[in-house]
């Protein structure tokens, strides 16, 4: 019995949301704000930035773009820092030991989430 070759892209599952730093200038897909060079932003790799379709695998994403948006490079939806906060992808935290405040996707046990008052 001969094993069928397995396409690597068929097995690659899309991981979800990535926290990235801007290279050059790119536009937020939600509010059209420019994300400047080295600004922090998030990219939802499950979501089409053009029509909002969602996918689970890289093969599904690539197929979607080749059929629905030919000529467009396949990618996820980019969120500027403000839109990332609104979507819940980023939070501000304070380091419990040093008091330093910064933006993160994941909170460690040495950090506490800063909840801003809505007054």
pLDDT tens digits, one per residue of 9-28? 445 666 678 888 888 889 99
Which residues sit opposite 79 in a β-bridge?
42
Q: What's residue 6's pLDDT?
A: 52
pLDDT in tens, 36-85: 999 889 999 889 999 999 998 888 899 999 999 999 999 999 999 899 98
Write phi, then psi, for 90 (nearest 5 degrees): -120, 150
Same domain, yes or no: 72 and 53: yes
Same domain, yes or no: 15 and 40: yes
Same domain, yes or no: 60 and 103: no
CB atoms within 10 A of CB 67: 8
Inside any domain, residue 109 = yes
User: Between the CA of residue 68 and those of 32, 74, 81, what are the distances in Å?
Assistant: 22, 11, 28
Q: Tell me, what DSSP letter sits at residue 19?
A: E
Answering whether pTM is above 0.75, one says no
**H-only helix segments in the chain:** 8-11, 58-68, 81-87
Same domain, yes or no: 69 and 46: yes
Same domain, yes or no: 70 and 81: yes
Q: What's residue 119's pLDDT?
A: 43
Torsion angle in degrees (nearest 10) through CA of 78, 13, 107, 37: -30
């Amino acid at each position: 019995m001969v094993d069928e070759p397995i396409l690597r892209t068929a097995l690659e599952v899309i991981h979800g949301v990535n926290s990235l730093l801007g290279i050059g200038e790119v536009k937020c897909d939600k509010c059209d704000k420019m994300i400047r060079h080295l600004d922090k932003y998030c990219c939802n790799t499950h979501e089409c930035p053009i029509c909002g379709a969602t996918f689970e695998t890289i093969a599904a994403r690539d197929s979607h773009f080749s059929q629905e948006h030919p000529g467009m490079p396949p990618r996820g939806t980019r969120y500027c820092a403000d839109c990332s906060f609104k979507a819940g992808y980023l939070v501000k935290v304070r380091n419990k030991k040093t008091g330093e405040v910064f933006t993160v996707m994941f909170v460690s046990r040495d950090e506490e989430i800063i909840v801003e008052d809505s007054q």
